[in-house]
Structure 1
Amino acid sequence: MTHFSSFRYFHFSLLILAFSFSGITQELPEWQRLDILSVNTEEPRASFHYYNSEKEALGGDYKKSGNYKSLNGTWKFNFAEVPENRPQDFHKTDYNISDWDDIQVPGDWQLQGYDFPLYVSAGFTFDIDPPFVDNTYNPVGSYKRTFILPSDWRKKDVFIHFGAVNSAFYVWINGEKVGYKEGTKTPAEFNITDYLQEGENSISVEVYRWSSASYLEDQDFWRLSGIERDVYLFTTPENRIQDFFVTPTLDKVYDKGILEGYVVIDAEKRKSKLQLDIKLWDGNELISEIKKEVKNAEDDTLRFEASELNIKHWTAETPNLYHISLSIKEKGETVMATSTKIGFRTSEIKGGQLLVNGKPILLKGVNRHEHDQHTGHVISKESMREDIKLFKQYNINAVRNSHYPADPYWYELCDEYGIYMVDEANLESHGFGYDEDKTPANKPEFEPMHHDRINRMMQTNKNHPSVIIWSMGNEAGDGPAFIKNYKWLKKNDPSRPVQYERAERGENFKEPHTDIIPWMYASLDFIKNSYLDKYPERPFIWCEYAHGMGNSTGNLVDLWNFVYEHPQVQGGFIWDWVDQGLLKEDENGNEYWAYGGDFGPDHYRNDGNFVINGLVNPDRTPHPALYEVKDIYQDIDVSLKESQGIKFTFVVKNRFFFTNLENYEMSYELFEDGQLIKSGNENFNLGPQQETTNQYELDLENEDSEYFINFYFKTKEAKNMVPEGHAVARKQIVLQERKEVALDVDSGELKTKKEKSQFVISNDSLEVKFDNETGVLSAYTFKGKTLIKKGPQPDFWRAPTDNDFGNNFPKRSNAWKSDTQNPKLLKFKVDQTEDGVEVKTSYQLDSVSSTMNIDYNIYADGTIKVNNQFEFDGDTGKLTSLPKFGNSMILPLDFKNVKWYGRGPHENYWDRKVSAFLGVYESDVDDLYVPYIRPQENAYRTDNRWIKLIDASGSGIEFIGIPEVSFSALRNPTSEFDPGVKKAQRHTTDIIPRDQIHLNIDYKQMGVGGDNSWGAETYEKYQLKPQDYSYSYYIKPVVK
């Protein structure tokens, strides 16, 4: 067929090589050959279904069409650890499988009781020796079941569809071999008409865990295997639509619609004239109709065009879809019909920018692996819809299918609800490295494999408007294979840009073959020095950035400030969307999410929790970082322009490219010291990329108070999975800063008494004890109730985050940990003063050659003022930044109710607090804990004016910053989240809550960072450099 001539042309130059190579390997089975990728499969085609009428096709319920039969469900299954032990004759119809197990299809067999999952970030689980894999352990799954052929299918062609099989498989029908296919993430279809019989039929499938195809499937995810997507039969008439490509675009001024495309007809068996009807629908309204006659069997590709169409455009903001129906008629009767939803839009590179419908959009995206905590690579429709819902509600407008084409339903959802997509070929050979003499991209014998994967991706998903960019693969080196495929894609689909991250980065492959510069994890300095001014004709879009491993995603605000300042930098895709943990139980029946190293023999390589990089947990509950993403990604901004007296002028900017703000209601709330004192709302009619000013009269009456204003933009109606009243954007602006607090205290009499092991300060209501040997406050009791059991104590340490481990911070900064654990008391002095009692303590910090002073002013009403002073005398060249500067203490568990005036309600850090508004919040201490899958630093809150911890009666303890402090409150000490200088195989089940509260009242903690998790440090502006520091706070009883 003419449609596939370019595919054959691509291979022509390789025929001699292929024949030569096959001469060497012709005795090997297909799954250990590079020159055979499939046997007896149909050519790849667009994703669509067959119907009996136009009405059925427009209805879209293919499962009720009569042309579809699902083979999902229970199959019989045999597992063999090595290929030679597989049941080699199981496909025969008389083979006895009565003692075989049952298995669910689709499903990964490792998650159904066979074999074991392996997680490897980059590299293979076997020695590199293509086309061979290590068969000393290479499991084979043998599947078998029967089905009844519908009686009305006897005179039709029947095909079997495998959505995805990992990694290579054979199929038999009724004992006869039908064919072979490798390559996991795109469909394989076989014509099985000649193999069928009336009534009951048997199907047998043999799946290999590893094959020659595995050399190009070295992605950063769980290595699983099995039949991973739908298996079904479908039937077609003899004369049918084989394929079609619809390109709905816009005219030169991005106004009217243009509909172009072609339809490939298989009409070799036609007995009379055929007619092709093409109709464009807006709901039930027919917009355009084209009729084409199939003149002869050779006329298999029919092209069509319609222009000047009055249509609504498709964008992620305005996902307007139309139906296109295609019907074949013979003698006026419909022989078959199909349909698909399309969107009119353009995607192009102009002036060094990516334009959609002529506008330089920003991609506020994430990378998404297909992952389910129970079923691995098998994803339900409900899970996909949940992802889309979260995308829309958290301002994510783009997704990169990392690193392979997704389930067909995913594309339908992105089309319908509006998500820009980078569709990526299932092609990664990271384990070879990038050297030109090693990478398969530079080896002719691998070229057909490269093209097969890129071609299948493009052919399957070419009709989806959400796909605005093709990606040729990920981390697969560079070479002629990508240069040729770039040219092939540009010729066969000129309607979309093409990208490849490794393109043009080698010395010998500088010929342009990427339309976008998508360098992953490029730092801002690197972009300034290596991209800006050097690629004026191509935009920069991170294909991966802001690595979200563990407690991460810091400094996102800095990255996006840079984006807004540089028009050619158009956003990127956070790595990544979901933690790829697999649900598992410990020996006590407690569930946890497992990661690399939790399964399988120890001698297999595993890359630990590097698979846990998401913005959401495996069950899709958000991490605190997702709230930051939502605010940074929002498309409406407010800033304070000026103030004169009580008149405040604000600038509202609409950052949408296609949406008027009339769709949202703006409201504001004015707060005085955390208490709401005024509110209002109004509507805006503000066009895309426009800004306006608004003035409000805000009377800030008290010069000693703090005032801030919160703005919210909420939806007026539910749309695209976003409910009515949902805040799509919000902004907090401080109008008047808080003055330093000076408490009124009671300067009554206090008694002092030195005992053998402690020093006691007391009156009728108060008792404060200090340990004579350590100088640490050992008890703080007011009116018979213990408020503090121990502390404050010097604290410079935090439990290392994954980013900390990535840059070796736990080892480099171990001196701060040592001095947290072993401060040496230099001075402990107690003096009576006119106001009360003053306690002075001083500690020598040997590891950092510095001194820490903690002074206490204790008053008769129970108030204690704590003054911390760090005097740095060490060598700045030998010491890292301080992880933290603060105080730790232990409180009774009774004070579980935590209330604070500071940033919240969610966890926040110095470099991740844009989304954590100032306010008054309340939480149970158990709910402050953030159970990161690998335990680490968590639960922090910054910029706090005060913190109260109270019991059920309302009594407790309060901490008041002078002026501000940071805090965390947990039921476990830092040590229980800290595995040491190296990571350990630890999980949430290792954190057993203690019957006490471990409270930190700190000056600050360094930021969490987030550029990457293998070397990048926290930005310098968010570090505590070794120098002198001091801070103070009050402690006072709360009496109900």
Structure 2
Amino acid sequence: MERDKNHPSVIAWSLGNEAGDGQNLAAMAAWIHERDPSRPVHYEADRLARYVDIYGEMYRTPAVVHRIGQGRLRPGETFCPAVDGAGDPADDRRNGMPFVYTEFAHAMGNGPGGLAEYMRLCEQYPRVQGGFVWEWIDQGLRSSDALGRELFAYGGDFGEDLHDANYICDGLMFPDRTPSPGMLEYQKVIEPVVIEPSSSGRISIRNRYAFLDLSHLRFTWSVSQDGDPIADGRLSVPHVAAGECVDIPVPEAYGEGERWLTVQAELAEPTAWAPEGHVVAWGQIPPTATSAPTALTDTRAPAQSAGEHISLGPARFDRRTGRLVGLGDHRFDGPQLALWRAPTDNDLACAQGDARYWKDRGLDRLRHRTVSVDPRDAGLTVVVRSSAANSDSGYLSTYRWDTDGRRLRVRVHTEPFGYWPERADTFAEAMVDPDLPDEERKELLRRDKAPSLARIGLLRQLPEEWSQIQWFGAGPGEAYPDSRQAARIGRFHATVDELQTPYVRPQDNGSRADVRWAEITDRTGAGIRIEGEPLFSLARRWSDRHLAAARHQTDLAPEPLIYLYTDHVVHGVGSGAVGPGVLPQYRLDVRAADFAFILSTTAWTQRRSRPACAGRLSVRRVRRPCR
């Protein structure tokens, strides 16, 4: 304190980190208060805030932070250790103090999830402040394996007997200072400008800066139609003081299809930390109505048996198993029901026990037994039982295939059977806001402890040369149900290799969300198109079991095929490695599901004509209170 007391950048004093509690800490706080009464004192281990000025906690759930924000802590109530407390909240001094996320959102592997929920609480309750993510960077050491291949080493790679494995690889940056998807998610949820639809149908521009107006920024807009840009321009935004909001009209763009408006706030001039044009914030205004999912024509082709195959329009199925083995001139294998993923570091957390539950149910080793194959004039119906060896639980799936002669549709109904035991969830802290409407609260309480799945979707094995992927949906980076704020709707292209996120310890990654359609092709453009209801999609060159077994990226040897997942729904990621796991609203419980896709070869894909469009904008502003 004596060293730094004259630095104006020092705004508070901390007594330390995770150093316990007791009279020595109280004496330190008393000395600092006497020596420097101008600055507040913080120390997270003072759970009851007896001698500090800022109340802090680590890794509390959003439901608990909601209570803290409302000032409803009971005298003597603590969370670590868990003590109920008793009495009138008005008698607890913590309820009148600033509250800070001393640590939250542990950033180990794929995650953290739920950042948007925490940031909304900061906006809802001015006394709630955040947040200090643990931590900045993965502490992997650049090294090489026995074959000379470069990798980032962690605990156990140096022959030591006692270690914490990859536990120190828990940062928002990879060891080489490359931002992880978690960093991009955090950047998005703490943007200093919020751009979103207003209740009046306009664009809301909200200034989160505490002192700056927005005069250092310029605003641009662009409109896309079915993922293709069709119009753009400058947006005239009036003076917006710190903490203020303005509503401005939406640019008008004409045309058909699904149209999205994207507005960006960019630096108008270069600064010491970024060049001119650096994007400080962005937002998307969704269309009033999205395009209807593609449908087949009214004409239906019958299923016909021929030798070892059943033909249905452009498709060929194995007559014995009912598996799709070809479409047009292309050969591939699938689909198969998929319920598992290579566990993330957060999935492996002990408290919620998801990865352990999936392993015990054998979801990583499903066997698929065909129950029936029924070709009809209207199509083909295939029923498949999926379960692990020596397991009395699984899923029964009905695939109903039909075609209009050019495109192939599959409608899937899948439902659990057998005994699904309770999941041993020992996380004791409240995960559900008690103030929610009764039915919503009860449903979330049920989902919080219910048996879980990693995904409900379909897996296909495609030729290895189909390494090019184009999609219309959320991107360009990965997105999961609780970590999707940094993804925007658009049309994107990547190779299969570019879709992968190189977490230091390999684990599930690379999911793209809200995919309306995707084309998976070779370099000449030959391949297949999948479209229908918005889905999660990912592709990789190795199986999930291979991914789960790897310790380092160098352990991932490409196989001579592409694994393509098209998921109806997936489990969130959470931050359970330290702190709360997946919030109930993002958990995938064992349930029945219905979904449908349409497949076609890219040679048959019909490109829609794109009508000429124009942009028009007025700049009359509407001011309103900022909350």
Q: With structure 1 as the length reference, what TM-score do the two structures score?
A: 0.51
Displacement of 1:659 after TM fit? 0.8
> Is 1:690–2:244 an aligned residue pair?
yes
> Is 1:799–2:342 an aligned residue pair?
yes
Partner residue in 2 for 1:759: 309
Checking the alignment, whether the CA contact within 8 Å between 1:885 and 1:1002 is kept in structure 2 is yes
Checking the alignment, whether the CA contact within 8 Å between 2:185 and 2:485 is kept in structure 1 is yes
Distance in 2, Cα, partners of 1:634 & 1:873: 46
Q: Deviations over 1:110-166 (max 9, x none)?
A: xxxxxxxxxxxxxxxxxxxxxxxxxxxxxxxxxxxxxxxxxxxxxxxxxxxxxxxxx
Partner residue in 2 for 1:64: none
Partner residue in 2 for 1:866: 410
Distance in 2, Cα, partners of 1:727 & 1:474: 35
Distance in 2, Cα, partners of 1:813 & 1:477: 37
Distance in 1, Cα, partners of 2:587 & 2:248: 37
Partner residue in 2 for 1:738: 290
SS at match of 2:131: strand
Matches within 5 A, 1:983-998: 986-998=551-563
> Is 1:769–2:317 an aligned residue pair?
yes
Partner residue in 1 for 2:41: 498
Q: Deviations over 1:432-461 (max 9, x none)?
A: xxxxxxxxxxxxxxxxxxxxxxxxxx2333
Structure possessing the higher relative contact order (Cα contacts under 8 Å, 6 or more residues apart): 2
Q: Deviations over 1:495-540 (max 9, x none)?
A: 32221110145xxxx7x22221121111122234467424233211
SS at match of 2:462: strand
Checking the alignment, whether the CA contact within 8 Å between 1:504 and 1:513 is kept in structure 2 is no
Partner residue in 2 for 1:939: 510
1:462–1:819 CA distance, 2 compared to 1 (3 A) = closer
Checking the alignment, whether the CA contact within 8 Å between 1:795 and 1:820 is kept in structure 2 is no
Q: Deviations over 1:806-842 (max 9, x none)?
A: 1331212335543861233222222233xxx424223
Distance in 2, Cα, partners of 1:683 & 1:818: 53
Checking the alignment, whether the CA contact within 8 Å between 1:541 and 1:569 is kept in structure 2 is yes
Matches within 5 A, 1:160-199: none
SS at match of 1:1039: helix
Partner residue in 1 for 2:171: 614
Partner residue in 2 for 1:525: 63
Q: Which amino acid aligns with 1:691?
A: C
1:544–1:771 CA distance, 2 compared to 1 (3 A) = farther
> Is 1:950–2:521 an aligned residue pair?
yes
SS at match of 1:953: coil
Checking the alignment, whether the CA contact within 8 Å between 1:815 and 1:848 is kept in structure 2 is no
Partner residue in 1 for 2:32: 489
Q: Which amino acid aligns with 2:328?
A: F
SS at match of 1:689: coil
Q: Which amino acid aligns with 2:536?
A: S
SS at match of 2:585: helix
Checking the alignment, whether the CA contact within 8 Å between 1:826 and 1:844 is kept in structure 2 is no
Distance in 1, Cα, partners of 2:361 & 2:530: 25
1:713–1:987 CA distance, 2 compared to 1 (3 A) = same
> Is 1:561–2:106 an aligned residue pair?
no
SS at match of 1:736: coil
Q: Which amino acid aligns with 1:524?
A: P
1:944–1:972 CA distance, 2 compared to 1 (3 A) = same
1:629–1:555 CA distance, 2 compared to 1 (3 A) = same
Partner residue in 1 for 2:393: 848
| Structure 1 range deviating more: 812-821 or 688-697 | 812-821
Matches within 5 A, 1:799-818: 799-807=342-350, 808-814=353-359, 817-818=362-363
> Is 1:668–2:221 an aligned residue pair?
yes
Checking the alignment, whether the CA contact within 8 Å between 1:706 and 1:736 is kept in structure 2 is no
| Structure 1 range deviating more: 815-824 or 1023-1032 | 815-824
Distance in 2, Cα, partners of 1:847 & 1:947: 36
> Is 1:548–2:107 an aligned residue pair?
yes
> Is 1:1034–2:617 an aligned residue pair?
no
SS at match of 2:129: strand
SS at match of 2:342: coil
Identity of aligned residues (%): 29
Distance in 2, Cα, partners of 1:1015 & 1:574: 12
Q: Deviations over 1:597-629 (max 9, x none)?
A: 212432xx2111110101111110011111111
Checking the alignment, whether the CA contact within 8 Å between 2:60 and 2:579 is kept in structure 1 is no
> Is 1:969–2:539 an aligned residue pair?
yes
Partner residue in 2 for 1:280: none
> Is 1:480–2:23 an aligned residue pair?
yes
Distance in 2, Cα, partners of 1:539 & 1:799: 40
Checking the alignment, whether the CA contact within 8 Å between 1:631 and 1:914 is kept in structure 2 is yes
RMSD, aligned α-carbons = 2.3
Matches within 5 A, 1:309-388: none
1:857–1:767 CA distance, 2 compared to 1 (3 A) = closer
Distance in 2, Cα, partners of 1:813 & 1:942: 23
Q: Deviations over 1:59-82 (max 9, x none)?
A: xxxxxxxxxxxxxxxxxxxxxxxx
SS at match of 2:2: helix
Displacement of 1:847 after TM fit? 4.0
Matches within 5 A, 1:83-232: none
Displacement of 1:652 after TM fit? 1.4
Q: Which amino acid aligns with 2:52?
A: T
Partner residue in 1 for 2:85: none
SS at match of 2:198: strand
Distance in 1, Cα, partners of 2:579 & 2:122: 23
Distance in 2, Cα, partners of 1:882 & 1:771: 31
Partner residue in 2 for 1:901: 472
Q: Deviations over 1:346-404 (max 9, x none)?
A: xxxxxxxxxxxxxxxxxxxxxxxxxxxxxxxxxxxxxxxxxxxxxxxxxxxxxxxxxxx
Checking the alignment, whether the CA contact within 8 Å between 2:474 and 2:512 is kept in structure 1 is yes
1:819–1:627 CA distance, 2 compared to 1 (3 A) = closer
Checking the alignment, whether the CA contact within 8 Å between 1:972 and 1:998 is kept in structure 2 is yes
Checking the alignment, whether the CA contact within 8 Å between 1:896 and 1:950 is kept in structure 2 is yes
Displacement of 1:1017 after TM fit? 2.7
Distance in 2, Cα, partners of 1:617 & 1:819: 28
SS at match of 1:1017: coil
> Is 1:599–2:143 an aligned residue pair?
no
Q: Structure 1 unaligned segments of length 5 or more: list them.
A: 1-457, 980-984
Partner residue in 1 for 2:131: 572
Q: Deviations over 1:58-108 (max 9, x none)?
A: xxxxxxxxxxxxxxxxxxxxxxxxxxxxxxxxxxxxxxxxxxxxxxxxxxx
Displacement of 1:877 after TM fit? 6.0
Q: Which amino acid aligns with 1:782?
A: G
Paired residues in the alignment total 550
Partner residue in 1 for 2:180: 623
1:749–1:882 CA distance, 2 compared to 1 (3 A) = closer
| Structure 1 range deviating more: 691-700 or 802-811 | 691-700
